[in-house]
Amino acid sequence: NAGVMQNPRHLVRRRGQEARLRCSPMKGHSHVYWYRQLPEEGLKFMVYLQKENIIDESGMPKERFSAEFPKEGPSILRIQQVVRGDSAAYFCASSQTATSTDTQYFGPGTRLTVL
Chosen residue from 17, 22, 30, 45 binding other proteins by CB under 8 A: 45
Asked if 91 touches other proteins (CB under 8 A), the answer is: yes
Q: Which amino acid is present at 94? A: S
Phi (first) and psi of residue 86, to 5 degrees: -80, -10
CA distance 78 to 104: 22
Chosen residue from 75, 94, 107, 114 binding other proteins by CB under 8 A: 107
Between residues 13 and 31, which has the closer beta carbon with respect to other proteins?
A: 31
Q: In 10 A of CB 17, how many CB atoms?
A: 14
Asked if 30 touches other proteins (CB under 8 A), the answer is: no
Instruction: Return the range that interacts with other proteins (CB under 8 A); candidates 20-28, 67-75, 80-88, 103-111.
Output: 103-111
- Residue 85's Cβ-side half-sphere holds a number of Cα atoms within 13 Å equal to 3
Radius of gyration of the chain (CA): 13
Binding interface with other proteins (CB under 8 A): 4, 6, 31, 33, 35, 41-45, 48, 55-56, 58-59, 91, 93, 95, 98-109
